[in-house]
Amino acid sequence: MEKTNRSYAVSKSDEEWRAELNPAEYQVLRQAGTERPFVGEYTDTKTEGVYACRACGAELFTSDTKFDSHCGWPSFYAPLAGDSVEYIEDNSLGMRRVEVRCATCGSHLGHLFEGEGYDTPTDQRYCINSISMTLRPKAG
């Protein structure tokens, strides 16, 4: 994962992250990995609630902005608040992408794509790994 000069509200050593996260979570959240498509816990979830960072618990997305993109990962058209995520230019794999990270702890969440033609208010697709989030269902 690209290092930034930014300091985060939640900052832990590599050893602390490894102790708190299982190997698959660590690989995605702390090493900018990607889970396989169509296997994630939240890919097709319709449950109302808030999606929080699995590493630090910061609230990131709501079910209100989740949509069916059929890409194999949960998709959202906007974050919960503009400052809940941060963006890092990602030129790996021979393409230009925008990496999305948790603004509270710097964990990798997924990527942001624009201009794909989805019928959403923003024409943006936050393609987020299920394993990087925890769904907090709406009380009801």
Asked whether residue 2 is domain-assigned, the answer is no
Residues 81-104, mean pLDDT to the nearest whole number: 88
Q: Would you state the pLDDT for residue 19?
A: 97
Cα–Cα distance measured from residue 101 to residue 104, given in angstroms and rounded to the nearest whole number: 9
Q: Would you state the pLDDT for residue 81?
A: 81
Q: Which DSSP symbol is given to 19?
A: H
Asked whether residue 8 is domain-assigned, the answer is no
Q: What 3-state class would DSSP assign to 100?
A: strand
The yes-or-no verdict on residue 88 having pLDDT over 90 is yes
CATH value at residue 82: 2.170.150.20
Asked whether residue 28 is domain-assigned, the answer is no
User: CB under 8 Å to 95, separation ≥6 — which residues?
Assistant: none
pLDDT digits (tens, 9 = 90+) for 27-72: 999 999 999 999 999 999 999 999 999 999 999 999 999 999 999 9
pTM comes to: 0.91
Cα–Cα distance measured from residue 57 to residue 67, given in angstroms and rounded to the nearest whole number: 22
The number of distinct structural domains making up the chain is 1
pLDDT band per the 50, 70, 90 thresholds, residue 128: very high
**Residues with catalytic function:** 127
**Structural domain boundaries, residue 56:** 35-137
Asked whether residue 11 is domain-assigned, the answer is no
